[in-house]
Structures are given as C-alpha cells and as structure tokens.
C-alpha cells in the first residue's frame, strides 16, 4: 500500500515530471573497414521515428554488468529475439548512463514498472510499450547504417533524457 501511494504521488506531482521513451536499437554501420554493429538501450524524449531521432542520442550498449562506473544497459532475462524487439521479455531493465542523463536506474516488471535508483528510491514509473518499431537506413558519420529496433518503455519521471553530446 505504501508503494502504491508513493507511485500515485510521484505521478500526480504537476510540473515535476518528464516523459521519455526507452527503446532498443540495433545500428549496422557500413564503413570502409567493414560492418560495425552498435546495439543497446536508447533513451529519447519522444519515440524514435526519423533518422534525426535515431542518430541524435547515445546508444547504451548491452552489458552483463552496469554497476559502479560501467555504463550500458542490462536486461533480465538475457533473451535475444528476432528484430525488431531484440529483447523479450523485459522483466528487469537496468541502465547506467554515468554522468549523462538520466543516470543509473532499474525498471522492474514485477513492481508495476517501478523505476528505482540504487538506493531503492522510486524515481517514476515505466509502462512496457513495444508498439513503436523501426527499420530504416540513415547516415551515421557519413556512412550508411541500417537501424532496426522497437520501443521498450514509456516512462514518467522527474529525470531527463540525455542527448548524444
């Protein structure tokens, strides 16, 4: 009951919340030296749909350990599936963006999508949303890249999505 009251209070606080999307992105970049693949979590202010959206933010790479100063995204279970989802189910998703926004947090499916920090403090809530998929070709650093993926969560929190720079 205490958790539900905190969640309602966090969501109902006007003006303090920022909405952002967490997506899974796979970028296959054709370079002179061969193909380079970058895949992982992608945190944006809106669901990515254009080349600008898909190349303007940092990809937080898959990792088995995102503790301390190790940045990236960890999913539990680690269950690779075919594109565009790449990861399913999403029981636990931990992301560490280091000093970049939004920081280090974990989303728990079994807690109703609660987003919590390392101390267990409720930061917001994330609803699983796999409805936004993408499969397109864009230029990354003047090289053609096939970009595939899908949305994972829509989050409401006081945190802000960080940009690539």
- Domains of the chain, by residue range, sit at 2-157
What pLDDT digit, counting tens, does each position of 81-100 carry? 999 999 999 999 999 999 98
Model pTM? 0.84
Which alpha helices (H) appear in 27-77, and where do they start and end?
A: 51-55
pLDDT in tens, 90-148: 999 999 999 988 899 999 999 999 999 999 999 999 999 999 999 999 999 899 999 99
Look at residue 7 and tell me whether its pLDDT is greater than 50: no
For residue 155, pLDDT over 50 is answered with yes
Transcribe 104-120 into DSSP letters: EEEEEGGGTSEEE-TT-
Q: What is the pLDDT of residues 59-75, one digit of tens each?
A: 999 999 999 999 999 99
Q: In the 8-state DSSP scheme, what is residue 80?
A: B
- Partnered with residue 72 across adjacent β-strands are 96
- Give the model's pLDDT for residue 160: 65
Q: In this structure, are residues 161 and 102 in contact, taking their beta carbons and an 8 Å threshold?
A: yes
């Amino acid at each position: 009951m205490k958790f539900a009251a905190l969640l309602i209070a966090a969501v109902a606080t006007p003006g303090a919340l920022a909405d952002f999307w967490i997506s899974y992105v796979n970028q296959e970049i054709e370079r002179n030296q061969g193909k380079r693949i970058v895949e992982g979590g992608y945190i944006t202010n809106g669901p990515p749909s254009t080349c600008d959206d898909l190349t303007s933010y940092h990809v937080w790479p898959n990792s088995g350990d995102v503790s301390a100063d190790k940045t990236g995204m960890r999913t539990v279970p680690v269950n690779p599936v075919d594109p565009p989802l790449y990861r399913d189910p999403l029981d636990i998703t931990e992301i560490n963006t280091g000093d970049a926004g939004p920081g280090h947090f974990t989303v728990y499916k079994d807690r109703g999508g609660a987003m919590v920090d390392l101390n267990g403090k409720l930061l917001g809530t994330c609803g699983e949303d796999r409805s936004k998929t993408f499969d397109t070709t864009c230029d990354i650093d003047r090289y053609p890249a096939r970009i595939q993926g899908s949305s994972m969560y829509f989050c409401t929190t006081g945190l802000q999505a960080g940009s690539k720079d």
